[in-house]
Structure 1
Amino acid sequence: MKYVYPAVFTPEDNGQFSVNFPDLESCYTCGDDLGDALYMAEDVLAMTLVSYEDKGLAIPAPSKSLSLEAGEFQNFISCDTERYRKQNLNKAIKKTLTIPEWLNEKALAQGINFSQVLQEALLEKVGG
């Protein structure tokens, strides 16, 4: 899923930036400079929305504009939660499966990697 949300950037005295997404609960970050703050904003936005998706929470509609304090500015940040999952949620998990004994013996004799075959088949099936 692709999303775009407005973020409030607040310059700090030390040259850093604080970033807040008012439309999303507990979605904020910071950066050492503007470039870092933009990078971190995309990361925290994706992480927050992945959490919303996983918990089955309603994802709020993004605001068109935000109320700003003196010195703050608004920027729209985009993210792709599917891409985020592929890049960050790659921890291997163990799955138990059942296959016929004859198929197991043939595959073992040919040195086939069961995990690799299953991953390739699942990727083909889900279109990933």
Structure 2
Amino acid sequence: MKFIYPAVFHQTESGGYKAYFPDLECCTAEGDTLFDVLDNANAAARDWLTVELEEENVQLPPVSDESDITLKENEFVRNILVNIRFYEGWDE
């Protein structure tokens, strides 16, 4: 199953990058390069969604429209695609 959630990125003073997902509570990522933070954001979102999907009666948060996200200076948004493969016996 594929999920797409927007993530907000910014470069830190030390030159690395940080990201957070406005729709996924406490879901963040960091990386030394933009490639690293994108990869780590994908992993963080996948882990967050996997944990939520294991709960009974889960309702995933709605996806924010990029135009509704308020950005601070030097922040930018990228949509992160997460592909979760359900395994045999998974109760959808």
Shorter-chain TM-score category? 0.7 to 0.9
Q: CA deviation at 1:78?
A: 0.4
Q: Who wins on radius of gyration, i.e. which is larger?
A: 1
The residue type paired with residue 64 of structure 1 is D
Structure having the larger proportion of residues in strand: 2
The residue type paired with residue 30 of structure 2 is C
- What is residue 62 of structure 2 aligned with on the other side? 61
User: Residues 41-86 of structure 1: CA distance to partner in whole angstroms, max 9, x if unpaired?
Assistant: 100010000011001321011111111000100000001121xx77
Structure having the larger proportion of residues in helix: 1
- What is residue 35 of structure 2 aligned with on the other side? 35
The residue type paired with residue 24 of structure 1 is L
TM-score scaled by structure 2?
0.86
TM-score scaled by structure 1?
0.63
1:80 maps onto 2:62 in alignment = no
Q: Could you tell me how far apart the structure 2 residues matched to 1:71 and 1:39 are?
A: 20
Q: Could you tell me how far apart the structure 1 residues matched to 2:18 and 2:72 are?
A: 13
The residue type paired with residue 74 of structure 2 is G
Q: CA deviation at 1:20?
A: 0.1
**Paired positions, count:** 87
Q: Which runs of 4+ in 1 moved over 3 A?
A: none
Higher relative contact order (CA 8 A, sep 6+): 2
Paired-residue identity, %: 31
Unaligned runs of 5+ in 2: none
Q: Could you tell me how far apart the structure 2 residues matched to 1:63 and 1:50 are?
A: 19
